[in-house]
Every structure is written in C-alpha cells, then in structure tokens.
C-alpha cells in the first residue's frame, strides 16, 4: 500500500447517528490515545440530533468529518474505510470507547505479525451511564479457524477490531446500486453485519484473526439493546448463514448446525435477561436440537442458561429478569 505524505499510523472510523449522549466520550477516548499518530474519521450518517454539533466542537487537526445521507451502520463504516489513509483501520461505534493504549497495542501487534489481517481484544461492558458491569467479553485469542469465527465470533463486537488495509482489499466489492462506492460491510444488513463480514473474511479469503490480551474496548449496553427484537436478530443471522452458504456450501453444510445451536443459545440467554422465559425455553430447546454437542462443549454455560429458564416458572417475571441478569453475569459473555 503506497504511503502518502504524513500518512498516520492508524485510522479510526467512527459512524455517528443520533448519539448525542455518548459521542463526546467516544471522541475523548480516541484523542487520549497513547499512540498520537492517528486520524479520526467521523462519518455523520444523517444525524438529526446534536451529535454533529458535538463532534464539531472538538478542535483537533486529526479529526475529519464526512457527512452523508443515512445509510445505516454498514454504509457509514464503508464510507469511513474508503476515506482511511493509514495502513490499519480501527472501528469504533460512537456509543463505545477505547482504552487509552488500544491503538498502540494493536499497532505493535500488527506491525510485528504481518500475516494477521484482523486484530482484536476483549471488551469491558459498561452501562448507559458509563459504569463498568461485572461482565466482560474475553474471547479466544489464538489458533482461530473459520469455524471459530462462524460459531463463536471471537471479535465480539464492532468496536473491538483493527483491520489491515492491504488485506481488506480482498474483501472489497462495488456497491450493487452505486458502483462508484466501495463496500466491505454488506449494506443490506441492519443486524449481523459484523459476523457476516468476519465470516466472509475467514471463509472466502482465508484471513488470519488473532487477538491480544486485555479489555481494550468499553462496550456500552443500553437498555433493551442486547436483543430488542430477538426474532429479527435471528432472521438476520439466518440471512448471513445463507449468504456464507452461497460462498462455501460444503463449509456451511458441515458446520452450520453447530453455528445455529450457538446462536440460538445466545438468543435464549438474551430472552432470559429480558424475562421472556417461555421464549427462552423454546430457543434453548431449538439450540440443543440443532446440535446437542454444545452442551458437552460448554456444559457450564448451557447449564446456567437452562437453570435460569427453569427458574422463570417459579418466580414473577420482574423478579426473574432482575435475578437472571445477575446470574448470567456469572458466566463469561458470549453465546
């Protein structure tokens, strides 16, 4: 990749859409990075609140703001990646925040390991007010296969990943309706766009994923945002699986059942946290039907989910939802 004059070491791409309560913290977390040689590309995705005004209040030459009509999160990310000048691109959702050393640690990791296309780290979960929750994403960091990416999504969330731009050229494609625009994320998705992208990178392009130690992202959990609509989330996930099946039919035929089981168990846990115990029971049963071996692979997490579902028939919905949120925090985050 040709280095332009004054090319930064890292580009941070941050889509912004109606996040006036959180965007200042996100920007401050980037400006405070121990690696100072970066550019922050803020993509205004047609925000209608004070988000853009807040972004413009920061006077720092490393910040660039690009405004566009609303395209959704995948479209805003695509615009930002296309504008990036650095050899590495960090993704940051505007309601999340970075640990002060995130960019530096990923820069060192990817500079020392040129075969790594996508670097990531664990994430601390915070609530809407920014308070740390007693749960974190601590993913598998090494020896990651395409099956691991499909079934367990080690990247975890959209603010955890750092991309090597030279590798990302393999995953680029023209927008089907606007061929002058380059895409990486599929803009037809409104959910599951992350796992679709990660899985496509792993399955179709054989990209190497590798994580580094530490909880380097603050991932914000906003009321109801875990799974505001579980059915839509699952439908979107199934669309992702069909798309990957078109790319690699033998791969999905072999591993799709296990991936479906992990996803259904994940959604069962989300339903438990919302107090939807009957729905959670159906989802967990469907998960075990899809591939019962997930219970053998992760007996503790499966058992905790089953016990939480069973408890729902004994205590009231409100009390159960509060209790289950505490219980499920005792197990590692994820599916």
**Tokens found for residue 286:** 């469907």
pLDDT tens-digit series, residues 165-211? 999 999 999 999 999 999 999 999 988 899 999 999 999 999 999 99
pLDDT tier, 333 (very low <50, low <70, confident <90, very high otherwise) = low
pLDDT tens-digit series, residues 148-161? 999 999 999 999 99
pLDDT tens-digit series, residues 61-86? 999 999 999 999 999 999 999 999 99
Q: Is the dihedral of CA 103, 106, 110, 111 positive or negative?
A: positive
Element (H, E) at 10: strand 10-16
Angle among Cα 270, 273, 279 to the nearest 5 degrees reads 65
List, in order, residues 6 or more apart from 331 with CB less than 8 Å away.
300, 301, 304
pLDDT tier, 226 (very low <50, low <70, confident <90, very high otherwise) = very low
**Beta carbons of 225 and 22 less than 8 angstroms apart:** no
């Amino acid at each position: 990749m040709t280095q332009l004059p004054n090319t930064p070491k890292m580009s941070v791409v941050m889509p912004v859409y109606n996040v006036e309560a959180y965007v200042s913290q996100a920007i401050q977390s980037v400006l405070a990075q121990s690696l100072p040689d970066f550019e922050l590309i803020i993509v205004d995705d047609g925000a209608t609140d004070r988000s853009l005004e807040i972004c413009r209040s920061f006077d720092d030459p490393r910040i660039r703001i690009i405004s566009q009509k609303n395209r959704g999160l995948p479209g805003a990310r695509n615009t930002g990646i296309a504008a990036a000048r650095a050899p590495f691109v960090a993704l940051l959702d505007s309601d999340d925040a970075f640990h002060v050393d995130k960019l530096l640690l990923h820069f060192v990791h990817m500079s020392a390991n040129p075969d790594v296309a996508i670097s990531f780290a664990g994430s601390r979960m915070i609530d809407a007010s920014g308070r740390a929750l007693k749960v974190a994403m601590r993913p598998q960091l090494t020896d990651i296969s395409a099956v691991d990416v499909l079934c367990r999504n080690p990247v975890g969330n959209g603010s955890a990943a750092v991309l090597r731009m030279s590798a990302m050229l393999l995953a680029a494609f023209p927008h089907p309706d606007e061929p002058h625009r380059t895409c990486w994320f599929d803009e037809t998705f409104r959910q599951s766009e992350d796992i679709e992208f990660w899985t496509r990178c792993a399955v179709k392009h054989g990209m190497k994923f590798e994580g580094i130690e530490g909880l380097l992202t603050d991932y914000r959990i906003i009321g109801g945002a875990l799974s505001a609509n579980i059915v839509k989330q699952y439908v979107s996930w199934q669309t992702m699986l069909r798309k990957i099946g078109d790319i690699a039919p033998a791969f999905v035929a072999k591993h799709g059942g296990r991936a479906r089981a992990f996803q259904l168990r994940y959604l069962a846990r989300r339903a438990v946290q919302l107090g939807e115990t009957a729905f959670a029971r159906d989802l967990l049963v469907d998960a075990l039907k899809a591939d019962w071996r997930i219970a053998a692979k992760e007996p503790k997490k499966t058992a905790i989910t089953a016990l939480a579902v069973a408890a729902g028939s004994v205590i009231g919905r409100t009390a159960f939802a509060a209790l289950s949120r505490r219980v499920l925090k005792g197990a590692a985050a994820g599916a």
